Chains A and B, each alone.
Chain A
Amino acid sequence: MTAVAERGRRVRETSPVLAFLGRRMLGALGAILVASLVIFLGTVVLPGDAASVVLGRNGTPQQVAALNHRLHLDKPAGTEYADWMSGLAHGDFGDSAVGLAQGETHAPVWPLISGPLKNSLILALVTALFMIPLSLFLGVLAAVNAGRPADHVISLGTLTGIALPEFVIGSLLVGVFFVGLNWLPPVALVPPGANPLDDPQKLVLPVMTLLLASLASGVRMVRAGMIEVLGTEYVQTARLNGLPERRVLYRYAMRNALAPSIQVLAQNLQWLIGGIIITESVFAYPGLGTTLVTAVGNRDVTVVRDIALLIAVAYILINLVADLIVMLLVPKLREPA
């Protein structure tokens, strides 16, 4: 009895859920730090003088030096990285290199990216809202009909989607739904400050593009997980006990098939982030992706590194959240390793 009491106390002292949470959060923090270093090294340390590119051929050496100074690009790399990080810690995203080069005294990055950030989040959320239930539905449907025509159609369709770059899918959709049928607008322009959801018709083609490009791996994983679980003994026992098939599927099979699928859905969401960068450009949607692509083209390194870090953080957080959900679904994983 004392042993039981002691065990109870020990469990309370080091709650495995909290320990897991702590470990994961530390890991995510480390990943964010590494990502910031990679971004910093990529944009700043690589050869290629951003200031002279931004100023163009007409920039005098004095102007280039002055701009480098104002962007803090003339300091040693270590100091510059520390400046960037401490600025971010205070909510200061720095100044746009292009803005300063055009003679503005103050060109903060944050106002340039806050609107696009909101637009991109809306596009991502609307897509995820369709993507997750669709992956589950199509995956379960394919698994239950494994080897039958429905399975083949789903596999072929999703495999084709994943083989195509987003811009090809988007362009073909515009060819069909705008040029051919004239049902949907070819671009998704949103005036600054307006809410993209005010005119949802504009979002249809971008969301369709992202869904077609990203559904395949989720559907395949859900299908594989379901087929595996449907062959296990406890599912057979449930069937032999005369439980209705629907109950066997949703109550017994799906819960265990879901755990690996959630990690794949998280990967899908991560793919979505890469896909959004291109899809936004295809439809001229004013999001973080189009802003990033413009900034890369202009060599606006300060804007590029801020947006790149935001995207990398989103990428890492998706992983973290997926791990937590999996842990809540599968109690087995809560045990300390």
Chain B
Amino acid sequence: MRHRLRFMRSPGGAIGVAIVLFVVAVAVFGPYLAPHDPTAPIGPDAAPPSSHAPLGTDELGRDVLSRLLNGGRSVIGLALLSTALAYAVGMSIGLVAGYSRSKVDPALMRTVDVMLAFPPLLFLLVLIAGAGTSIAVLVIGVAAIQAPAISRIVRTSTLEVSVRGYVEAAVARGERPIAVIRREIVPNILAPVLVDAGLRFTYSILIIASVNYLGLGLQPPSSDWALMVSENREYINLNVWAVIAPAAMIALLTIGVNMTGDAIARSLGRSYVPRPVETVPPS
């Protein structure tokens, strides 16, 4: 386990982990620390900071600090959920395509090409126009954007691993394909597949926050950092903190995750290129 944490020794890695832990702590414990109800007005609209409300009030007179402390769960939770879903779907497809070398293979590659030839945000907006705004559409849409690239990497790694001796030995022992995939292949492809996990998580945060900001994801009165930025944007000259504070929290989260991912990639001797969807290795 010790060597896995080597990346923490670099200053970037240590700072990145500290930032991520701080933001996650705010998201997890924040709701218990919030001084006011995040959805009830406590004073005048868009008032500057006071002793009653340290970060002022928002455009409906609600406490910005309380909303800030409540607004992290949705960003992190939805991004985690859609990234996990993307990995589950992408790995299943990639494993089947790579291990069976069946006709799924060319079809999969063409699908990936189509996904890469289409702006991801546009894909999500078209999906929302057709299916309406809901959390399910958001999570499934973001997972659908990321799954093809994951499946491609999984497929390539599976092709590589499945001709190795230990896999052939397992097949010769008469083990069923499911068992071979689970016991021999998956453990041996996890490292190259998961090295981009941080990137994909950042990307999920970016795109989910952007859709929430556009008002096409989570709906009011949810307290969500991205939604807070857009709700208070119009009143920025009345209480600048109602915009800056949630924007800064999102910034801390994505920068922290990126620094951690960068440090991990460096400790593994890999380069770290942000924005994962475009960084699909040629098949």
Listed in ascending order, the chain A residues whose CB lies under 8 Å from chain B are: 31, 34-35, 38-39, 42-48, 53, 159-160, 162-168, 171-172, 174-175, 178-180, 186, 216-217, 220, 267, 270-271, 273-274, 277-278, 281-282, 292-293, 295-297, 299-301, 304-305, 308, 311-312, 315-316, 319
The yes or no answer to B61 lying at the interface (CB within 8 A) is no
* Interface residues on chain B, size class: 35 or more
The yes or no answer to B170 lying at the interface (CB within 8 A) is no
* Chain A nearest CB, measured from B230 CB (Å): 7
With A267-B278, A274-B119 known as contacts, the answer to whether A175 contacts B240 (CB < 8 A) is yes
Interface segment, B23-31, B51-59, B99-107, B251-259? Answer: B251-259
- Produce 1/0 per residue, B233-248, CB < 8 A to A: 1001100100110011
Q: Which of B130, B205, B258, B273 contacts A301 (CB 8 A)?
A: B130
- Contact of A35 with B230 in the complex, beta carbons under 8 Å: no
CB neighbours (8 Å) of B274 from chain A are 159, 162-163, 216-217
* Chain B nearest CB, measured from A300 CB (Å): 8
A174 to B234, CA, bound (A): 11
- Among B118, B126, B209, the most chain A Cβ lie within 10 Å of the Cβ of B126
* Chain B nearest CB, measured from A179 CB (Å): 5
- Contact of B273 with A296 in the complex, beta carbons under 8 Å: no
In addition to A175-B243, A180-B240, 19 A-B residue pairs with Cβ atoms within 8 Å of each other are A38-B114, A42-B129, A48-B132, A163-B202, A163-B255, A167-B209, A174-B236, A175-B240, A178-B236, A179-B237, A217-B278, A277-B121, A278-B214, A281-B214, A295-B129, A297-B216, A305-B129, A312-B119, A316-B117
- Contact of B236 with A186 in the complex, beta carbons under 8 Å: yes
Q: Which of B122, B132, B213, B216 contacts A167 (CB 8 A)?
A: B213
Q: Which of A175, A270, A292, A308 contacts B244 (CB 8 A)?
A: A175
CB neighbours (8 Å) of A179 from chain B are 236-237, 240
- Contact of B258 with A165 in the complex, beta carbons under 8 Å: no
- Produce 1/0 per residue, B17-48, CB < 8 A to A: 00000000000000000000000000000000
Residue of A nearest to B250 (CB): A168
CB neighbours (8 Å) of A48 from chain B are 130-132
Sample of 23 A–B contacts (CB below 8 Å) = A38-B123, A43-B126, A43-B130, A48-B130, A164-B254, A165-B206, A165-B254, A167-B213, A168-B229, A171-B236, A172-B248, A179-B236, A186-B236, A216-B274, A273-B122, A274-B119, A277-B121, A278-B214, A281-B214, A293-B214, A293-B215, A301-B130, A312-B119
Residue of A nearest to B257 (CB): A163
Listed in ascending order, the chain B residues whose CB lies under 8 Å from chain A are: 114, 117-123, 125-133, 202, 205-206, 209-210, 213-216, 226, 229-230, 233, 236-237, 240, 243-244, 247-248, 250-251, 254-255, 257-258, 262, 273-275, 278
- Contact of A44 with B121 in the complex, beta carbons under 8 Å: no
- Contact of A186 with B237 in the complex, beta carbons under 8 Å: yes
Residue of B nearest to A278 (CB): B210
A267 to B274, CA, bound (A): 13
CB neighbours (8 Å) of A162 from chain B are 258, 274-275
CB neighbours (8 Å) of A178 from chain B are 236-237
- Contact of B258 with A159 in the complex, beta carbons under 8 Å: yes
Residue of B nearest to A270 (CB): B119
A216 to B206, CA, bound (A): 15
* Chain B nearest CB, measured from A39 CB (Å): 5
- Among A53, A179, A296, the most chain B Cβ lie within 10 Å of the Cβ of A296
- Among B133, B206, B226, B278, the most chain A Cβ lie within 10 Å of the Cβ of B206
- Among B125, B258, B273, the most chain A Cβ lie within 10 Å of the Cβ of B125
CB neighbours (8 Å) of B202 from chain A are 163
* Chain B nearest CB, measured from A219 CB (Å): 12
- Contact of B251 with A172 in the complex, beta carbons under 8 Å: yes
- Contact of A301 with B210 in the complex, beta carbons under 8 Å: no
* Chain B nearest CB, measured from A38 CB (Å): 6
* Chain A nearest CB, measured from B213 CB (Å): 5
- Contact of A217 with B273 in the complex, beta carbons under 8 Å: yes
A218 to B119, CA, bound (A): 18
A316 to B214, CA, bound (A): 25
CB neighbours (8 Å) of B205 from chain A are 165
* Chain B nearest CB, measured from A166 CB (Å): 7
- Contact of B125 with A308 in the complex, beta carbons under 8 Å: yes
A118 to B215, CA, bound (A): 25
Q: Which of A43, A180, A271 contacts B129 (CB 8 A)?
A: A43
A250 to B163, CA, bound (A): 47
- Among B114, B117, B122, the most chain A Cβ lie within 10 Å of the Cβ of B122
CB neighbours (8 Å) of B131 from chain A are 46-48
CB neighbours (8 Å) of B214 from chain A are 278, 281, 293
- Contact of B114 with A34 in the complex, beta carbons under 8 Å: yes
A304 to B125, CA, bound (A): 9
Q: Which of A159, A174, A186, A315 contacts B117 (CB 8 A)?
A: A315
- Contact of A172 with B247 in the complex, beta carbons under 8 Å: yes
A297 to B229, CA, bound (A): 18
- Contact of A171 with B243 in the complex, beta carbons under 8 Å: yes
With A167-B230, A274-B121, A308-B122 known as contacts, the answer to whether A220 contacts B273 (CB < 8 A) is yes
* Chain A nearest CB, measured from B124 CB (Å): 9
With A178-B236, A297-B215 known as contacts, the answer to whether A38 contacts B126 (CB < 8 A) is yes
A292 to B128, CA, bound (A): 12
